[in-house]
A and B are shown apart, each in its own frame.
Chain A
Amino acid sequence: MSPRRVTGGRLAWLGSLPFLAYVGLFLLAPTVIVAVGAFTDVANRPTLANIRVLGQRTVLDSFVDSIALSAASAVIGAVLGAVLAWVVVTGNPDGVLRRAATAVCGVLAQFGGVTLAFAFIASIGNQGLLTLALDQVGPRLSTGWLYELPGLVLVYSYFQIPLMVLVFLPALDGVRPQWREAAETLGGSSWQYFRHVAVPLLTPAFLGALLLLFANAFAAYATAAALISQGAIIAPLQIRTALTSEVLLGQANAGKAIALGMILVVAVAMTLYALVQRRSARWLR
């Protein structure tokens, strides 16, 4: 049944005006500017030269690396985050563990940028606290991998895991204890409940969260910028090079073309997210 409309009338849409204005100004307008810029040169004449930049080897590589980094950190974040969320949800819903975990995750999910990069440099960099401490006992922690793709995966996981906990907790809360009781009443084992009830039920939510993490990592910029200064190995850093280089001038619109490429990748991810989300909502209704 659909809820009866009690408010509204013809002027109801007025209420959404501020939201639409906001979205228009800060989401649609920049997207249009990027899209138009990608097809124009410095003098605003139409050109395909910027789009051709997308075919360059280094730019293609940066997209491959960006997607690999986002996928790896999303999978790590989603799996570990889901396990952590499961642990939290099995406790008392009003207990200290849950409150502390959600509070900490709320902070850490937003902890990124230069602070995060430098925290890792100071901890496990070549001269990091942990590196030097471990040197005393034996194993050499750092061989420079922190400043390559594997390093980025580790550092990104630091904000991906808490984000997963935050977005996955509501899904786990939706799993009602009655279902487990029902399964047990019918003679099902814990494994059977897990295999045939919990996993199918949570799969859409899990995949949705996975895609969200992917987009989150794909769009992250400052953490990588602070950690890796050479070679612009991921797409956001290619855009930085195009926009701020004091060596290669007049590349701003090539940056917009790369941005357009990123928008397309995110659009694909978000379309998948929306499809999966629809399925997830059907399950939990």
Chain B
Amino acid sequence: MDASSPRSRRQVLTALAGAGSFALLAACSPPPSSSPAASSSGSAGAATSAEEAGGMDALVKAAKAEGQLNVIALPPDWANYGEMISAFSAKYGIKVNSATPDGSSQDEINAVNQLKGTSRAPDVLDIGMSVALANTSLFAPYKTATWADIPDAQKEPSGLWVQDYGGYMSVGYDSSKFPEVKAVSDLTAAAFKNSVALNGDPTQANAALNGVVMASLANGGSLDDVSEGVEFFKGLKGSGNFIPVQATSATVKSGETPVVFDWDYLAAANAKEVPTWKVFVPADATLGGYYAQAINKQAPNPAAARLWQEFLYSDEGQNTYLKGGARPVRMDAMTTAGTVDATAAAALPPVTGTPVFLSEDQATKAKAALASTWAGAIG
């Protein structure tokens, strides 16, 4: 998710060998004598649905017996995960251990591999699509009770990964400091000097990558060609409008990053701290993107992991995403059924254009282009 995972300013020699020493520590800890699943919760470790686990009540019981759930890389202000975690915790009396909230999707995969067999390994993952597709061998298939509501294109047929929420790439800005933004090209004006930031480095963070693709679409590029986006940011850098600092809710609050390319649901969350914060989704570059859920195949708390999925994809969980400004994957079905939170739905930023999505091939192409051109354009 968010690309920054700063550690203390200490010898990087130890930090950069982190992967190694983690593996080492893992090797030092006692080996998992048996799958923790088998001992603690009966069949939950392999269940691919609540029925298989003996029904919803049995799943709840098994999850309560485990008593905890390890989640990773879920910032509280990201898609309303703060409320999601406390609501789940309160409803089922299960303690949620939230590790490295600012980690990236790749950090989540690294944790699954490095903490394998320990009780600290993440149970569930919330990851970008490219990372999800590259790591399906680490996931356990699971279909929630609401599986049928989720469009086929947004889930793996056996349930190895299922998209959970998404949104559109947007420009969030402090409307008290700038004139109304009506097009991406407005940002090249002198009024935006030292103001425009991305949510991370596009060669590292999915959100930033999509920001560049969106800028490309708005400047005559296409989903197959991000070079216009790179040129756009190169121009912003040249005119002094671009600032290379990582945009976070803290830099938005301090005013250091008053204009940020980011997912609309993340941008909308800034309005809590900066009431004049506005979110603009360009009609000529309506770029959508979804994140996906997956269960760690070797989850230390397999029943709680599955219960978490049931909760996320329930009406309650989906409306919790919606309250955070994210568009839940079951939104269409829930709108039809009338179970959607209408107030929260009405508060979403207006989208007038036709949404487009990066295909896997296009994403790969964009990554390769950025890897070779971004540092030169911006460094």
Q: Which residues of A contact B (CB under 8 A)?
A: 25-26, 29-31, 33-34, 37, 57-58, 61, 112-114, 116-118, 121-122, 125-128, 142-144, 147-148, 159, 219-223, 225-233, 236, 239-241, 243-250, 252, 255-256, 259, 262-263, 266
Contact = CB atoms under 8 A, between A and B. Distances in A.
A240 B4 CA distance: 9
Contact of B13 (A25, A222, A263): A263
A220 B131 CA distance: 29
A236 B244 contact: no
Contacts of B4: 225-226, 229
Contacts of B128: 246
A155 B286 CA distance: 39
B6 interface: yes
11 contacts: A58-B379, A113-B9, A114-B6, A143-B194, A144-B240, A148-B244, A221-B9, A222-B7, A230-B379, A247-B367, A249-B134
A232 B13 CA distance: 17
A245 B203 contact: yes
Most chain B beta carbons < 10 A, residue from A26, A31, A240 = A240
A221 B6 CA distance: 8
A118 B11 CA distance: 20
A246 B250 contact: no
Given A58-B375, A241-B201, A247-B367, A231 B12 contact: no
A93 B304 CA distance: 62
9 closest residue pairs by CB, A with B:
A112-B9, A30-B17, A33-B20, A229-B246, A127-B255, A230-B244, A231-B379, A246-B105, A222-B6
Nearest to B374: A231
Contacts of A144: 194, 240, 243
Most chain B beta carbons < 10 A, residue from A26, A243, A259 = A243
Interface in B9-37: 9-21, 23-24
Contact of A247 (B18, B23, B370): B370
Interface string B183-204: 0000000000011001011111
B215 to A, nearest CB: 14
A245 B24 CA distance: 22
A173 B338 CA distance: 79
